[in-house]
Amino acid sequence: MVHNIVLKNSNNITNYDAIQRLNAGDLTYPYLVGLIEGDGWFSITQNGKYLKYEFGIEMSIRDIQLLYKLTKFLGVGTIDIRYKNKLFSCFSIPASYTVTTK
C-alpha cells in the first residue's frame, strides 16, 4: 500500500507517490503491464503440424538489469542478447511454462 505523503524541502513540494512509482526495484503488476504494452510481443509460429507459442519483451541492452529483475519476479524466462542494428536484450517465456498469480 502506497501512502500519500507530501515532503516539503526548501519551498519545493515533492509527491512521494510519484517517486515510489518510478522505483524499478518494486515491480508490480501495473508496471509489468506497462512494459508489455510498450516493448512486449506475443508470437505463434508453426513448424509442420506443431505450434510454438512465445511471449517476450525486447529492450535496449542498457536496461538488461530490469529484465533480470523481471525474470526473478516471475520465476521463469530466459534473457538473450541479440545483435541487430544495435545491441538489445530479449526476455522470453516459451509455451512450456505456465505463469500463475502469486
**pLDDT of 85:** 57
What is the C-alpha separation between 40 and 56, in angstroms, rounded? Answer: 6
How far is 97 from 42, CA to CA, in rounded Å?
14
Predicted pLDDT of residue 61: 82
Q: Quick one: cell of 85?
A: 542494428
pLDDT, one tens digit for every residue, the chain (102 residues): 444 444 444 444 455 555 555 555 555 778 888 988 998 888 888 888 888 888 888 888 888 888 888 888 888 888 888 776 555 666 677 665 554 544
SS3 75: coil
Q: Is the pTM of this model over 0.85?
A: no
CATH superfamily of 27-94: Homing endonucleases (3.10.28.10)
- Number of Cβ within 10 Å of residue 7's Cβ equals 10
Domain boundaries, the chain: 27-94
